[in-house]
Amino acid sequence: MKYILIGVGLSVLSIASFSFAQGTIDGAVVDRETQLPLPGANVFLQGTVIGSVTDSDGYFSIRNVPDERITLVVTMIGYARFTQTDVHIAPGETQSFTIELRPTVIETSPVVVTATKTERSLRDVPTSVSVMQSREIERRNVFSIDEVLRNIPGVHFNLSQINIRGSSGYSHGAGSRVMLLVDGVPLLSGDSGEITWELIPVDQIERVEVVKGAGSTLYGSSALGGVVNIITRDLPERSMTAVRMQGGVYDKPHYSEWQWSERSRYKHNMHISHGQQIGNVQVVGSLGALNDDSYRRNDSRRRIMGYLKGRYTLSPYQSLTVSSFFLNQIRHNFLYWSSFDNPLEPFEEQIGEEVESFRIQSNVQYRHVFGSESFLTARTSWYHTDWEDNIGSNGNASRSNVFGAEVQFNSTVGRSHFLVSGVDVSYHTVDSDIFGTRSGYVFAAYVQDEWNITTPLRITGGVRFDITRLDTIDTFMNISPRAGIVYTALPHLTFRASTGAGFRAPAVAEAFAMTAASGLIVRPNPDLDAERSWSFEAGVNADITNWMNIDAAVFQNEYSDMIEPEARIEEEGLTAQFINLVRARVRGAEAGITFSFFDRRLQPRVAYTFVDGRDLDLDEPLKYRHKHMLVTGMLARYSVGWIEIDYRYLSKVENIDDELSIIVDKPDKQVPVHVVDISAGVEGSIGGIPLRFSASIKNLLQYHYVEFVANVQPIRQYIASLQVMM
């Protein structure tokens, strides 16, 4: 409870209201062809920090409009950008606008921020980026965001560990080659360096940006294989309350002999959120609870999560934003099946094992805009994790803190150069009976120049310098350069290429973990070195017709000192230790096609990724990678209803830790993955109250597969959800 109070305390804004004696812009955004309101459109004043997002009725309101000539901008995926210049609102005056957006057939150019640390059209960044909007997330009826990330091309999971284009194998919950950001703030734990997806409330996500390839030039260590940036929803202009209820049931296993429980297994989730504006302060908060019986024995989980975000508009050019998440979770421990004939039951000694954890992340961000292309951002953050379990003879516990601060300045130099520069520091502490008492720090400085040589040609170059200290391990110093080029040959044809260096310092868990569980003995390796890489990518994005878009890329990553776990059979049993592989290579290709028919009412899509990852010293495939990945889907919309089908295929893993056979029954029983999900829903209102109802069948084919050895993934589920907005 004390941590909740701390997090809430950090997130409370002084509720002060005063008038800038300035004007107001309000109105509605509608579809030009149908005249229907467009909820979720972004409306903002260029060169300021103020703006709005249209509500369920397409309405928006922008207060504190400065007494000068400004430019009003409206953007929304699937519609052409709207710009109205030379708008002037006198102090105390209110002007209303009805803005008609023109639909576009292909939805390919959202604005993204992660690839370059500034807002750019997706076509204008030199690396591959996938974007998933809030509506796509809502349609899929997910309980945590990692569920929907599995449908992004080139992405797959080993349990909770994300892998982008073969950059990662399975590290037993220690370290990550993918940097997770929430609104640009890192969210990796200080002890294990892992990602906890359940911490982020799904109902507060506006979009997710996935950068594929090394992002160390801007984001440093742990961005070696890519970056996932979760952008939370903007704050409301009017009072708004939303309730979201989800409920589901697991089907029975396909094989009757697998059934271990006589009763049905349920999962349910409820979130309630409220937001409003009081003067110059906008606040939103949410609280949720989940209970999941699970389809496996000793695998249930219960969690309570909360979220608070507020923004204080100091002036039209300055804002202060504070946000905080917390998660309290109790989950039982299921690691391996007891036998291949009883894959939904763990070892008998695992029965009753559980992990209780508490996590909280809070951050404060100040932004000052000096012009349309110049602004300063300063942020501080704190991420606390606290967990304990009863696994093994005495159980384990760990507490860690990560304190971070960053100052970033974006500016236009002349008419053709746009600079991004900054300083980034962090300090972490760990107190654990597994990892010991540890501390470390990171100091980094970076700069990037985006040079518009001509209208169709844009070159990006940047470099980052990092100093990393991890307790007793030698200090790591690293320089990460990167260069990219974007050439717009035609209005609907863009070529891109990029190359750069990446690095990752070992996590505390990789260097110092010393424990034993489920027959596996984990040994520390304080001699670990940082891993480094060089990456290359070339790609093309093209609208082949006004109803078809293609995006394709080839890539190659060269790794040195790659950190991977090594399993050995020794006298005391099976041991595991993280080591540095001398050389490794991951190369491949990716292509995706998106269609749009009948005025966007029918939208098929397909994307294929080929990944060839090899340990060059042993001349064998890297472990726990899929060579072929395919994601397809189709969305059909008519009037107030929709239906969507997703299919995901992963080829059989070529290489695993064969040594696991001494503690696990038939760990080599790997199969290709075939997963079909189907969802349908309707939107409308009753008595003026907007409602959204949807239902899903997950794993429609009741296909049994594993993401990690001896660990069967979810069987068929039936899920329904209802969202009410007031």
Same domain, 626 and 709: yes
pLDDT in tens, 575-622: 888 899 889 999 999 999 999 898 888 999 999 999 999 999 889 999
455 contact partners, CB below 8 Å, separation of at least 6 = 488
Same domain, 44 and 127: no
User: Taking Cα atoms as reference points, which of 99, 95, 123 lies closest to residue 111?
Assistant: 123
Percent of the chain with pLDDT over 90: 58
Nearest-angstrom CA–CA distance, 406 and 417: 23
Same domain, 407 and 369: yes
Domain boundary among 101, 131, 166: 101
In a domain, 288, yes or no: yes
Output the average pLDDT for the chain.
89
Structural domain for 689, as ranges: 111-725
Which residues partner with 559 through β-bridges?
A: 533, 584
Same domain, 76 and 217: no
User: Are the C-beta atoms of 408 and 377 separated by less than 8 Å?
Assistant: yes
Nearest-angstrom CA–CA distance, 631 and 91: 53
Structure tokens at 171: 């590290």
Count the Cβ atoms, other than its own, within 10 Å of residue 310.
22
In a domain, 343, yes or no: yes
Over range 387-391, report the average pLDDT: 92
Same domain, 97 and 170: no
Of the candidate ranges 70-74, 364-368, 516-520, the one whose mean pLDDT is the lowest: 516-520
Same domain, 244 and 376: yes
Nearest-angstrom CA–CA distance, 670 and 340: 11
Looking at residue 109, what DSSP letter applies? Answer: -
Same domain, 680 and 548: yes
Give residue 520's pLDDT.
Answer: 79
Q: Tell me which residue has tokens 């920090």.
A: 49
Nearest-angstrom CA–CA distance, 430 and 684: 50
Give residue 5's pLDDT.
Answer: 40
Domain boundary among 101, 127, 156: 101
For residues 713 and 474, the model is more confident at 713
Same domain, 636 and 683: yes
User: Taking Cα atoms as reference points, which of 48, 111, 118, 113 lies closest to residue 450?
Assistant: 118
Count the Cβ atoms, other than its own, within 10 Å of residue 463.
17
In a domain, 127, yes or no: yes
Percent of the chain with pLDDT over 70: 96
Q: Give the pLDDT band of residue 205 (cuts 50, 70, 90).
A: very high
Over range 120-127, report the average pLDDT: 87
Give residue 20's pLDDT.
Answer: 45
Count the residues in the chain. Answer: 726
Give residue 107's pLDDT.
Answer: 57
Give residue 1's pLDDT.
Answer: 42
What's CA 286's distance to the chain center, in Å?
A: 19
> Which H, E and C letters describe 369-419, residue by residue?
EEECCEEEEEEEEEEEEEEEECCCCCCEEEEEEEEEEEEEEEEEECCCEEE
In a domain, 381, yes or no: yes
Domain boundary among 81, 101, 121: 101
pLDDT in tens, 34-58: 888 888 788 888 878 788 888 777 8
Same domain, 663 and 694: yes
Over range 296-300, report the average pLDDT: 96
pLDDT in tens, 415-438: 789 999 999 999 999 999 999 999
User: Taking Cα atoms as reference points, which of 235, 246, 293, 301 lies closest to residue 271?
Assistant: 246
Residue 8 host element (H or E): helix 2-11
Same domain, 496 and 537: yes
262 contact partners, CB below 8 Å, separation of at least 6 = none
Per-residue pLDDT at 540 exceeds 50: yes
Give residue 548's pLDDT.
Answer: 92
Count the Cβ atoms, other than its own, within 10 Å of residue 80.
14
Per-residue pLDDT at 392 exceeds 80: no
When divided into structural domains, the chain yields a total of 2
Q: What is the CATH number of the domain that holds 623?
A: 2.40.170.20
Of the candidate ranges 131-135, 329-333, 464-468, the one whose mean pLDDT is the lowest: 131-135
Same domain, 97 and 184: no
Give residue 574's pLDDT.
Answer: 85
In a domain, 106, yes or no: no
Nearest-angstrom CA–CA distance, 577 and 575: 7
pLDDT in tens, 566-583: 888 887 888 888 899 889
Nearest-angstrom CA–CA distance, 332 and 560: 37
Give residue 8's pLDDT.
Answer: 38
Nearest-angstrom CA–CA distance, 177 and 228: 11
Beta strands 520-522 and 573-595, pairing class: parallel
In a domain, 683, yes or no: yes
Q: What is the pTM of this model?
A: 0.91
pLDDT in tens, 451-501: 999 889 999 999 999 999 998 888 889 999 999 999 999 888 999 999 999
Residues 573, 579, 585, CA angle at the centre, nearest 5°? 125
Same domain, 119 and 92: no
Q: What is the CATH number of the domain that holds 29?
A: 2.60.40.1120
Q: Give the pLDDT band of residue 21 (cuts 50, 70, 90).
A: low
